[in-house]
A = this chain, B = another copy of it.
Amino acid sequence: MTERPTPDPGMQGTSGISRRRLFGAVGAGAVLAGAGAVVGRVTAPDSENGTDGVVAFHGEHQAGIVTPAQDRMHFVTFDVTTRDRDKLIALLKTWTAMAARMTAGLEATEDGATGDGAYHPPSDTGEALDLDASQLTLTIGFGPTLFDDRFGLADLKPAALQDLPHFPADNLDPARCGGDIAIQACANDPQVAVHAIRNLARVAFGTASVRWSQLGFGRTSSTSTAQVTPRNLFGFKDGTNNLKAEDPAALAESVWVDGADDQAWLAGGSYLVARRIRMLIEQWDRAILREQEAVIGRDKREGAPLGLANEFDELDLESKGPDGPLVPETSHVRLASAQNLGGIRILRRGYNFTDGSDGFGHLDAGLFFIAFCRDPQKQFVPMQLALARADALNEYIQHVGSAVFACPPGPAEGGYWGQQLFEA
């Protein structure tokens, strides 16, 4: 396969013209076509956020981190296949321009899904033509391998950006681990998320290729107090004690990297930890309710800490019943709690997945765990070590994929993803 030059999408900011209107009447079949009013939308967003709206792309922080978690996700990692730093930067500029347009509900490029019709492939693949922005966010991260000797970035590697250690019982598939670059697409319409990743992967041809990707069909965390806590595939509410967008002090403490932390270019950024957690749902489904609740540490219906009444009642690790602690020593919520971990908190933003079957009569389903934190070595690693050692849930799950990325701060208007790094 030969390389082709990365197209320049000619991004000039968003114009307010919708994706569908930019799609002009060009091409053999459209000669006789009239203005062609758009009839309606094919699939509507299903978020309780209740809007087809646009999430701002530019800003101090990248969108898709504290943005109220959208309902669907497509996550991809890339291997950079060139050693040419300028080509990589050109791709990042192209991606940024496309991402700014797509998150605004526009076609990926100015000439869009028609292009010239006769001489070049369309620069937008078209499957989102009738769809709204659906709160699409696109969030980029850089993996540890990007900071090797290829692109002159070694001195700019943040100390906290290290491959995660091997945790007890990890059963990682190398084909679901790592990547030089990750892009997380979240939207309330899955077709919008898939379209975005597909078009970004497409223009990367010759510069970066897809390493692995994951579709998530339903969010398992709330990142805003306005959202209802969703349930994971164990049937439990998940992420009740998650960090929320409405608590900027906690976000500053636990999510956003400070310029003084380490590398100045990462100020306002964050770290993304991804873990593909296969849930052994068939085993779980054979456990009695009391066992399930003891494993989690919350009741199933309401999601309250065991012994308490309401979901948002504060976890009390000292509470005791006749048989010992009401929240068992090996329960998931106890081990993962800030109280148990000396105040460690992370921002969870994961998704349920189902990827067919495993060939042994079981569904290949689970949780694609995503967390954002200020320092994975100081937050995720100790948390996961505590869980991997003692969590009763380990009988029912298996970590099969893993990756960590440094997510740069948000792009400025006219800037590009990672500019702070490449121009540091």
* A residues adjacent to B (C-beta < 8 A): 23-34, 36, 39-48, 71-72, 74, 76, 79, 81, 113-122, 124-130, 175, 188-191, 194, 197-198, 201-202, 205, 209-215, 217-219, 228-236, 281-282, 284-290, 292-294, 298-302, 304-310, 352, 354-357, 359, 361-363, 365
Q: Which residues of B contact A359 (CB under 8 A)?
A: 175
Q: Which residues of B contact A363 (CB under 8 A)?
A: 76, 197-198, 201, 210, 213
> A125 is contacted by which of B76, B119, B189, B235 (Cβ under 8 Å)?
B235
Whether B129 contacts A299 by the Cβ 8 Å rule is no
7 shortest interchain CB distances as A-B pairs: A126-B235, A29-B299, A209-B361, A46-B46, A190-B217, A29-B306, A42-B230
Contacts A/B (CB < 8 Å), 26 sampled? A27-B289, A27-B300, A29-B299, A29-B305, A32-B304, A32-B307, A42-B228, A43-B48, A72-B190, A113-B300, A114-B300, A114-B301, A117-B288, A121-B287, A122-B292, A125-B235, A126-B234, A126-B300, A127-B235, A127-B352, A191-B217, A194-B217, A202-B282, A212-B357, A213-B356, A215-B354
Given A287-B121, A288-B117, are A293 and B29 also a contact pair (CB < 8 Å)? yes
Whether B210 contacts A361 by the Cβ 8 Å rule is yes
Whether B356 contacts A214 by the Cβ 8 Å rule is yes
Q: Which residues of B contact A26 (CB under 8 A)?
A: 289
> A121 is contacted by which of B119, B121, B285 (Cβ under 8 Å)?
B285
Q: Which residues of B contact A229 (CB under 8 A)?
A: 42
Q: Which residues of B contact A44 (CB under 8 A)?
A: 46-48
Q: Which residues of B contact A287 (CB under 8 A)?
A: 121
Whether B357 contacts A213 by the Cβ 8 Å rule is yes
Minimum CB–CB distance from A43 to chain B (whole Å) comes to 5
A229 to B41, CA, bound (A): 9
Minimum CB–CB distance from A322 to chain B (whole Å) comes to 12
Whether B127 contacts A234 by the Cβ 8 Å rule is yes
Given contacts A46-B46, A121-B289, A214-B356, list 12 more A-B pairs with CB under 8 A: A29-B293, A30-B299, A33-B302, A36-B301, A36-B302, A43-B46, A72-B217, A113-B235, A121-B288, A122-B300, A125-B284, A126-B231
